[in-house]
Amino acid sequence: MSITETRPETEAASPTPAAPSFVPEPPGLVGWLTTGDHKRIGRLWIVTALVFLVVGGVAGAVLSVERVDAGLQMLSGEAFTALFTLHGTTAVFLFLVPAVLGIATYVVPLQVGASNVAFPRVSALAYWLFALGGAVLLASYVAGGGPGGTDPEAVDLWLVSLAAVNVATSLALLSVLATALGLRAPGMNLRRTPIFTWSVVVGGGLMLLTAPVLVGGLVSTYIAHHYLGAPTAGWGPVAWWFGIPHAYLVAVPAAGAAAEIVPVACRVTYRRHGAAMGAIAALGILGFGAFTAAAGLHEALTIGVGVAAVLPALLFLGLVLDAVRRGTFRLAAPLLFALASAVLLAAGAVVGGFAVIEPLELAGTTWLVAHVHLTLLGGATLGVVAALHWWAPKIWGRAIPDPQGYVQLGLLLAGVLLLSLPDLLLGLLGQPVGIADWETETATVPLGIIAATGGGLTVLGALAVIASLVGLRRGEPAPDDPWGGHTLEWSTGSPPPPGNFDGPVPPITSVTPLLAAETAADVELAGEAAP
Amino acid sequence: MVDVATPAALPPPPLQRPGVLRVGALLSLGASIMLVGSLLGNYFAARQAAEVWPPEGLSIPGTAAGLVIVTMLMSSFTAQWAVAALRVNDRRNAYVAFGVTLVLGAAVVNGVAFIWSQIGAEVATEYGAAFYTVTVACLVLLVGAMVALAVIAFRAMAGDFTPRDTELVSAGVTYWHGVVAIWTVVGYLVFFLEGVTL
């Protein structure tokens, strides 16, 4: 073997770096299977997440029907428990987080002026690991797995597949975060980072530190179940991910999408951009709930964090509403989704604040289910749908018509509210979480019917979103910048060309570079017109 | 005529961001630390719940445990030596440093395997499950770091990297330092805190 002891100097021959060239990817299925392009990977994440959303949504709707009346016995106790955990794991690990990851994988490189995501092969590996892990996770439930599963091997499979999904999530986050931190355009310091990218840095960074904690818990549970003969895996190693305060962390990137949309749609900028960034950062930091994975060590901290999280959520809502008050806008669907997301996130934080106050005795009741639904189904999922509407022209080259958005918003918003409000009342009455047949003297059947209606409407809303995206093939091509955007992704084609930008991105001097460029051009024109 | 640089000829403004490889290494390290922290949390939860910990009759060979930690610490210096050598284009020293680092890593793998063979704890016990989970996870991190460093070393031998372009080497070595730190803490907690036999 020959070893080079002096590196051949080749740089002198090319004093200026060559423009990056992009080899076209193979067409058809091979191209999708071997892709390293962030745009394709992002779309794969989004589409797969939406498929899993249907599974999680249907499971949730069936659960809400089963809970209507103690006499209604559609499901056995074991099946109810399995469906309950299937709904939770699918909704969060297979839909919400992957959907955010898909949007981030697509949008963040464009927002920071990068030609691709950092470590594209890692990003592709993450997607395929996620798709495989998600499919195996669902299969494990069919085989009798899940936390309370009856088949030991299927329970092991559930643990391994959920760990694989979270490893995939971590790898994808690593890629997106490295892009946001290491591939920013010249001049784009963190203060000039678009607020969606900022929310991905905050939420994704902290999630990258909590996902391994979950994986560690799953590994330990697997060892205990497989080698020590623990009868079931238990829901404990996973449940903290949905609880207070970690639910806020999951919602942070979706809140960032809402924060990105509102000022552009209202044709204003935030009066205090730093405050918006600070509110998102505070929500993320307070949502860092890894400590709740260790049972018995966290009660005081959880109470403090649960109450404190109300402040950044309300500050965020205040900033968004201030932008609406000052702005001029039309009622575009993404704006309405973003506003609904911000309001429901704040409502979820307030509900969570009450949940941790011990004298109210709401811990362990359906009040917490309402909190999860308001925060994750309301705040986060509506934020994700807002992002899909907002960036659809960039992602698919077609805009989703507003009327379709209004229908989706009506279904999803009504679904979230009808699903959550009965659980708040039942929580006040003391109904425990995860119980199919709660016997009480109080007439709770009407509340159950309302919640079941909400579950059904939510599923219909999710199907309507998917139908809209499928129908995009027939739409008119969207212009490059249909919204009058402020950030770099709107300066390129819809969808962007290979390499994303036709030329080098100029140095960034503002948090709203396109707005700054437009203002500069206006000033120049005014100067020329002046006598 | 005085040669005056025009604004167009000036170099572009410095990038206000860290290198992407170093960022990737630091993020990976953060995730690795949290993973090991989680496993350690479960280890100590099991320790707190157990009546006797470690099981009676079980002994961790102190010499081997000490050597594992000292060897890991030494490998940090040799790994940094490789970066320093490449920064002054001293490639021969860099190759030696990479080689020594990998040998030290292999020695740690060997040392841990020796400890496993000596303590005689079954996996299907509270102690064994917790002990092996933590040490296997740490060993996986170490082997991953060794593979990464080997790839970097082979790329260096093939002519990659210049004194001004050592970001990948720095990133790999940064991760290596992190793994050394993890091993030092874990080694102290699961070997020495439990009472080694000298």
> Rounded to an integer, what distance in angstroms lies between the CA atom of residue A421 and that of residue A427?
10
* Among B138, B143, B170, CA closest to B33: B138
Distance from CA of B113 to the nearest CA of A (A): 20
Comparing CB atoms, the residue among B17, B160, B162 nearest residue A184 is B17
Q: Give A-chain residues touching B28 at CB under 8 angstroms.
A: 174
SS3 at position A73:
coil
What is the mean pLDDT of the segment spanning A186-206? Answer: 93
How big is chain B by its Cα radius of gyration, in Å? 22
> Rounded to an integer, what distance in angstroms lies between the CA atom of residue B40 and that of residue B131?
9
Cβ contact A374:A251 at 8 Å: no
* Among A222, A110, A139, CA closest to A485: A110
Please give the structure tokens belonging to residue A101.
Answer: 């990851």
SS3 at position A119:
coil
Cβ contact A100:A376 at 8 Å: no
Confidence class for position A9, pLDDT limits 50, 70, 90: very low
> Rounded to an integer, what distance in angstroms lies between the CA atom of residue A153 and that of residue A146?
10
Type of residue found at A428: L
Nearest chain B residue to A189 by CA: give it: B16
In DSSP terms, which residues pair with B197 in a beta bridge?
Answer: B61
SS3 at position B196:
strand
pLDDT value at residue B16: 53
Cβ contact B158:A4 at 8 Å: yes
Distance from CA of A400 to the nearest CA of B (A): 35
Please give the structure tokens belonging to residue B15.
Answer: 């990038």
A234 CB within 8 Å of a chain B CB: no
pLDDT value at residue A454: 93
Are B20 and A178 an interchain contact pair (Cβ–Cβ within 8 Å)? yes
Q: Give A-chain residues touching B22 at CB under 8 angstroms.
A: 182
Cβ contact A195:A256 at 8 Å: yes
Cβ contact A122:A175 at 8 Å: yes
Cβ contact A309:A299 at 8 Å: no
> Rounded to an integer, what distance in angstroms lies between the CA atom of residue A223 and that of residue B91?
45
Cβ contact A147:A80 at 8 Å: no
- A 141-170 residues with CB < 8 A to B: 170
Type of residue found at A122: V
User: 3-state secondary structure string, A352-391?
Assistant: HHHHCCHHHCCCCEHHHHHHHHHHHHHHHHHHHHHHHHHH
**φ and ψ of A477, to 5 deg:** -60, 140
Distance from CA of A328 to the nearest CA of B (A): 35
Confidence class for position A347, pLDDT limits 50, 70, 90: very high
In DSSP terms, which residues pair with A398 in a beta bridge?
Answer: A477
DSSP class of residue A502 equals S
DSSP class of residue B197 equals E
Residues in chain A: 531
DSSP class of residue A17 equals P
Task: Please list the alpha-helical segments (H only) found in A288-327.
Answer: 299-308, 310-326
Cβ contact A145:A234 at 8 Å: no
Q: What is the tens place of the pLDDT at every residue in A445-458?
A: 788 889 889 999 99
Are B39 and A220 an interchain contact pair (Cβ–Cβ within 8 Å)? yes
A119 CB within 8 Å of a chain B CB: yes
Average pLDDT value over all residues in chain A: 87
Instruction: Indicate left, alpha or beta for B180 from its phi (over 0: left) and psi (-120 to 50: alpha).
Output: alpha
> Rounded to an integer, what distance in angstroms lies between the CA atom of residue A221 and that of residue B74?
35
> Rounded to an integer, what distance in angstroms lies between the CA atom of residue B170 and that of residue A399?
45
Cβ contact B127:B58 at 8 Å: yes
Question: Of A201-210, A415-424, B16-25, where does mean pLDDT reach its minimum?
Answer: B16-25
> Rounded to an integer, what distance in angstroms lies between the CA atom of residue A348 and that of residue A373?
8
Q: Give A-chain residues touching B131 at CB under 8 angstroms.
A: none
B92: exposed, middle or buried (Cβ count in 10 Å: 0-12, 13-18, 19+): exposed
pLDDT value at residue A50: 95
pLDDT value at residue A233: 72
Enter the pTM of the model: 0.90
Please give the structure tokens belonging to residue A337.
Answer: 């989704």
Please give the structure tokens belonging to residue A378.
Answer: 């309301």
Q: How far is CA A8 from the centre of its chain?
A: 47
Q: What is the tens place of the pLDDT at every residue in A374-387?
A: 999 999 999 999 99
- Percent of chain A at pLDDT > 70 equals 90
Distance from CA of A249 to the nearest CA of B (A): 16
Q: How far is CA B45 from the centre of its chain?
A: 25
- A 479-498 residues with CB < 8 A to B: none
- A 206-225 residues with CB < 8 A to B: 208-217, 219-220, 223-224
Q: What is the tens place of the pLDDT at every residue in A284-339?
A: 999 887 777 765 556 778 888 888 999 999 999 999 999 999 998 888 999 999 99
> Rounded to an integer, what distance in angstroms lies between the CA atom of residue B171 and that of residue A480?
38
* Among A158, A90, A98, CA closest to A128: A98
Cβ contact A31:A25 at 8 Å: yes
Q: What is the tens place of the pLDDT at every residue in A85-114?
A: 999 999 999 999 999 999 999 999 999 999
pLDDT value at residue A502: 86
Please give the structure tokens belonging to residue B7.
Answer: 């604004």
Please give the structure tokens belonging to residue B72.
Answer: 């890991």
**φ and ψ of A398, to 5 deg:** -135, 145
Alpha-carbon distances of A128 from A36, A121, A134, rounded to whole Å: 12, 11, 10
> Rounded to an integer, what distance in angstroms lies between the CA atom of residue A238 and that of residue A292?
11
Please give the structure tokens belonging to residue A397.
Answer: 């080259």
DSSP class of residue A292 equals G
Q: Give B-chain residues touching A211 at CB under 8 angstroms.
A: 31
Confidence class for position A503, pLDDT limits 50, 70, 90: confident
Q: What is the tens place of the pLDDT at every residue in A228-259?
A: 887 777 787 888 888 888 899 989 999 999 99
* Among A222, A183, A230, A178, CA closest to A200: A178
Across the A:B interface, residue pairs with CB atoms under 8 Å apart total: 125
DSSP class of residue B61 equals E
DSSP A161-210: HHHHHHHHHHHHHHHHHHHHHHSPPTT--GGGS-HHHHHHHHHHHHHHHH
DSSP class of residue B191 equals I
* Residue with tokens 């079931």, as numbered in its chain: A232
> Rounded to an integer, what distance in angstroms lies between the CA atom of residue A248 and that of residue A345?
8
Q: Give B-chain residues touching A9 at CB under 8 angstroms.
A: 162
| pLDDT tops 90 at residue A64 | no
pLDDT value at residue A17: 40
Confidence class for position A526, pLDDT limits 50, 70, 90: low
Are B91 and A186 an interchain contact pair (Cβ–Cβ within 8 Å)? no
List for chain A the helix, strand, coil content (%; round to 5): 70, 0, 30
> Rounded to an integer, what distance in angstroms lies between the CA atom of residue A7 and that of residue B159?
5
Q: Give B-chain residues touching A210 at CB under 8 angstroms.
A: 34
> Which of B22, B28, B32, B34 is most worth mutating to test chain A (most A CB atoms within 10 A of its CB)?
B34
Please give the structure tokens belonging to residue A473.
Answer: 């093939």
| pLDDT tops 80 at residue A24 | no
Ordered per-residue pLDDT tens for chain B, 198 residues: 434 444 444 555 555 567 899 999 999 999 999 999 999 999 998 888 888 888 888 888 889 999 999 999 999 999 999 999 999 999 999 999 999 999 999 999 999 999 999 988 888 888 999 999 999 999 999 999 999 999 999 999 998 888 888 999 999 999 999 999 999 999 999 998 876 655
Q: Give B-chain residues touching A208 at CB under 8 angstroms.
A: 27, 30-31
